[in-house]
């Protein structure tokens, strides 16, 4: 057992899934969950997925925890870390599950106690559902979890946290925070922004009713609505904290879309065909990667 | 039996699925398939899904058919219809499965023989796979099929074609061609163009490798790759034949995306939150519609 006691701060989809998986796999002896929402805490208690639940300050839990995992929206990560830091045990590991890493690392820079192992993390896992009821123990199985340890962090602590995520069923990759943020801007943040925009555009059309949009959604639209149903607060925070990388990929996307729009206007079928043909290969590679 | 003999022109995903479903449900006595590709015809023959296969002119089949269904890419629909028209039986029904209706109706306007019932159609069904092997008989089950009969078409012919699609498991809706094209530009054509663009943008990034894109695709990107693997020729034709409606919805989408980009740049979290919160409801409505 790498960590005897774990404190999960934020018991939503991700936090409650970690609690369920930790219990199912027997990874820790004691599981505490803290959440600022009283209603969420009631649900967590009735689900029976934690040994202790706090709907206010969680210092008493932090004092006992060998591992503290912050699962709040990205915008609250830094202040939550600061609030708990002074109560934490010497030698404990402090991590998070936020979708943006550079902003968090920078905000805590110079504020992390020397006797605490600070290793930011990001499991690439989720669903469009939110809240404690939405969690399930298999969420992290066969998923990547990226860790972005600052230079000089204790190797044993990284090894322990890696083993913890592997215990949840994930593959672990160590990356630099800024590289993580650019990769995620491309593979996750841009797709979410696009999906939110597309669904918004469709429901704002005066010439097409919402009833028609729902009725004929099987033509492609439907796939976007799943992503566009993701937690609004979490995603607001992602875009605001990963601003530079997001704006860069959005600009490129608009350029590329404008080029295709121009090809449509000028009946340039060859440009369309070239662009549409080159995207098939990536799908094949993703399906191949699934098999491995 | 509404139609004793059916001729399917174009034996790809849609055409071969119709053939399989017609046989599985016993909707016609004889099924003919014509395809301009010799290789596709060999595959169709070896699959045993037709009673006769032609890799060249299909006039001999057209002369026997009570129902002719054109399943070619949109760009070839009008010329294919013109080529077969003179051979067709008096009183036969001529339909198609193209994703764009206005362009096709206009191209054939004034050219349809008075003794042929011309009823354009569009089953809202498909997958990202193409070719005769990709078809399966359940493709149309619980899907909408839109018919866009020109004014004055024989009511009995519409009733027969409606019954045919219902026999394949679909619900049938009658619409005006231009309304169909605007609804589809929103719920199908724009999503496809966006997906193609997004996948193209991601694979063109110099700062993110294709390997990383594949590895971390679970963050949202993956959902887009399925749509962006759709048949390039078919989709080139869709955008070029539904140009006006596509350009209108693309322009709106770019406006909406630019507004969200501006909100990110100026840290306007409220605008982001308002926009992200309003898109959840559509997902719920789509899932509710599934249950009915």
| pLDDT tens-digit map of B20-61 | 999 999 999 999 999 999 999 999 999 999 999 999 889 999
B13 exposure class (CB count in 10 Å sphere: 0-12, 13-18, 19+): buried
* Among B97, B217, B239, B266, the residue to mutate for chain A (most A Cβ within 10 A): B217
Query: Domain check: are B185 and B171 in the same one?
Result: no
User: Are residues B198 and B147 part of one domain?
Assistant: no
B28: contact with A, CB 8 A cutoff: no
- Contact across the interface for A250 and B257, Cβ inside 8 Å: yes
Shortest Cα distance from A97 to chain B (angstroms)?
13
- Give the closest-approach CA distance of B282 to chain A in angstroms: 7
Residue B291 has pLDDT above 80, yes or no: no
Residues A162, A54, single domain; the answer is yes
* Mean per-residue pLDDT over chain A, rounded: 95
Instruction: Tell me how far CA of residue A191 lies from CA of A194, B189, B191, B219, B261, in angstroms.
Output: 5, 17, 12, 8, 13
CA distance A106 to chain B (A): 18
Residues B238 and B106 placed together within one structural domain of the fold: no
Whether residue A140 is found in the same domain as residue A195 = no
* Chain A interface disruption, residue of B75, B219, B260, most A CBs within 10 A: B219
Boundary of a domain, candidates B156, B175, B194 = B175
pLDDT score, position B218: 86
Give the per-residue pLDDT at A96.
98
State residue A292's pLDDT score.
Answer: 72
Q: Does B82 touch chain A (CB under 8 A)?
A: no
A-B contacts at Cβ under 8 angstroms: 297
- Is the sign of the CA dihedral A93, A96, A97, A100 positive or negative? negative
| Cβ-proximal residues to A48 (8 Å cutoff; 6+ apart), any chain | none
Same domain, B75 and B39: yes
> Could you tell me the pLDDT band of residue B186, with boundaries at 50, 70 and 90?
very high
What distance lies between CA B196 and its chain's CA centroid? 17
Q: Looking at the partner chain, which of B225, B260, B282 has a beta carbon nearest the beta carbon of A283? A: B225
Is B269–A240 a contact, with Cβ atoms under 8 angstroms apart? yes
- Band of pLDDT at residue B281, cut at 50, 70 and 90: confident
**Per-residue pLDDT tens digits for A84-133:** 999 999 999 999 999 999 999 999 999 999 999 999 999 999 888 999 99
User: How many domains does one find in chain A?
Assistant: 2
Based on the domain organization, do B169 and B245 belong to the same domain?
no
Residue A206's pLDDT is 84
Distance from CA of A7 to the nearest CA of B (A): 25
Are B160 and B208 in a shared domain?
A: no
- In sequence order, the 6+-apart residues with CB closer than 8 A to the CB of B211 are none
Between these two residues, A128 and B185, which has the higher pLDDT value? B185
Residue B187 token pair = 């719920």
Which of the residue ranges A204-218, B180-194, B261-275 would you say has the lowest mean pLDDT? A204-218
Distance between CA A196 and CA B275 in Å, rounded? 7
Residue at which a domain ends, from B142, B175, B208: B175
From A159, A175, A191, give the residue that closes a domain: A175
Q: What CATH number does residue B42 fall under?
A: 3.40.50.720
CA of B89, closest CA in chain A: separation in Å?
A: 33
**pLDDT for residue A232:** 93
- Whether A267 contacts chain B with CB within 8 A: yes
A-contacting residues in B 226-255 (Cβ below 8 Å): 226-230, 232-233, 235-236, 239-240, 243, 246-247, 249-254
Shared-domain flag, residues A197 and A144: no
A79 and A24 part of one domain? yes
CATH code: domain of residue A233: 1.10.3660.10
> Are residues A158 and A230 located together in one domain of the fold?
no
- Of B99, B183, B246, Cβ closest to residue A208: B183
Structure confidence at residue A57 (pLDDT):
86
User: Which stretches of chain A drop beneath a pLDDT of 70?
Assistant: none
Residue from the list B124, B196, B226 with its beta carbon closest to the beta carbon of A276:
B196
Indicate the residue of A183, A217, A246 with minimum beta-carbon distance to B216.
Answer: A183
pLDDT of the residue at A103 = 94
Among B186, B190, B228, the strongest candidate for a mutation testing the A interface, having the largest count of A CBs within 10 A, is B186
What pLDDT score was predicted for residue A219? Answer: 86
| Nearest partner of A69 among A8, A157, A27, A112, judged by Cα | A8
Residues B163 and B195 in one domain: no
Condensed to tens digits (0 to 9), the pLDDT of residues B13-22 reads 999 999 999 9
Judging contacts by C-beta atoms under 8 Å, the chain A residues touching residue B226 are 223, 283
Instruction: For chain B, say whether A198 makes contact (Cβ under 8 Å).
Output: yes
ipTM (interface pTM)? 0.91
Q: Inter-chain contact B202–A186, Cβ cutoff 8 Å?
A: yes
Could you say which residues from 141 to 180 on chain B have a Cβ atom under 8 Å away from some Cβ of chain A? 143-144, 146, 173
Q: Average model confidence (pLDDT) for chain B?
A: 95
Question: Which domain does A46 fall in, by range?
Answer: 5-175
Note the pLDDT of residue A244. 96
Distances (CA, A) of A196 to A56, A201, A216, A240: 33, 9, 18, 15
């Amino acid at each position: 057992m790498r960590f005897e006691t774990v404190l999960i701060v934020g018991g939503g989809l991700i936090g409650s899934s970690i609690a369920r998986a930790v219990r199912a796999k027997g990874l820790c002896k004691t599981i505490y969950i803290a959440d600022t929402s009283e209603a969420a805490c009631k649900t967590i208690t009735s689900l029976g997925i934690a040994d202790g639940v706090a709907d206010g300050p969680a210092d008493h839990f932090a004092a006992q925890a060998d591992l503290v995992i912050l699962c709040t929206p990205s915008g609250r990560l830094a202040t939550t870390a600061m609030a708990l830091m002074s109560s934490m045990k010497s030698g404990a590991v402090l991590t998070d599950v936020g979708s943006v890493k550079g902003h968090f690392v920078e905000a805590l820079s110079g504020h992390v106690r020397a006797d605490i192992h600070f290793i930011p993390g990001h499991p690439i896992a989720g669903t469009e559902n939110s809240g404690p009821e939405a969690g399930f123990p298999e969420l992290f199985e066969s998923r990547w979890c990226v860790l972005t340890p600052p230079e000089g962090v204790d190797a044993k602590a990284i090894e322990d946290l890696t083993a913890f995520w592997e215990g949840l069923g994930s593959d672990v990759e160590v990356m630099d925070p800024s590289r993580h943020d650019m990769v995620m801007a491309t593979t996750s943040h841009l797709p979410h922004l696009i999906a939110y925009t597309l669904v918004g555009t469709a429901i704002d059309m005066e010439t097409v009713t919402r009833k028609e949009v729902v009725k004929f959604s099987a033509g492609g639209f439907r796939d976007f609505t799943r992503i566009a149903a993701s937690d609004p607060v979490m995603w607001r925070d992602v875009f605001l904290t990963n601003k530079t990388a997001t704006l860069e990929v959005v600009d490129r996307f608009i350029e590329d879309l404008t080029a295709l729009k121009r090809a449509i206007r000028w009946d340039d079928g060859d440009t369309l065909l070239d662009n549409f043909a080159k995207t098939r290969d990536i799908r094949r590679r993703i399906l191949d990667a699934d098999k491995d």
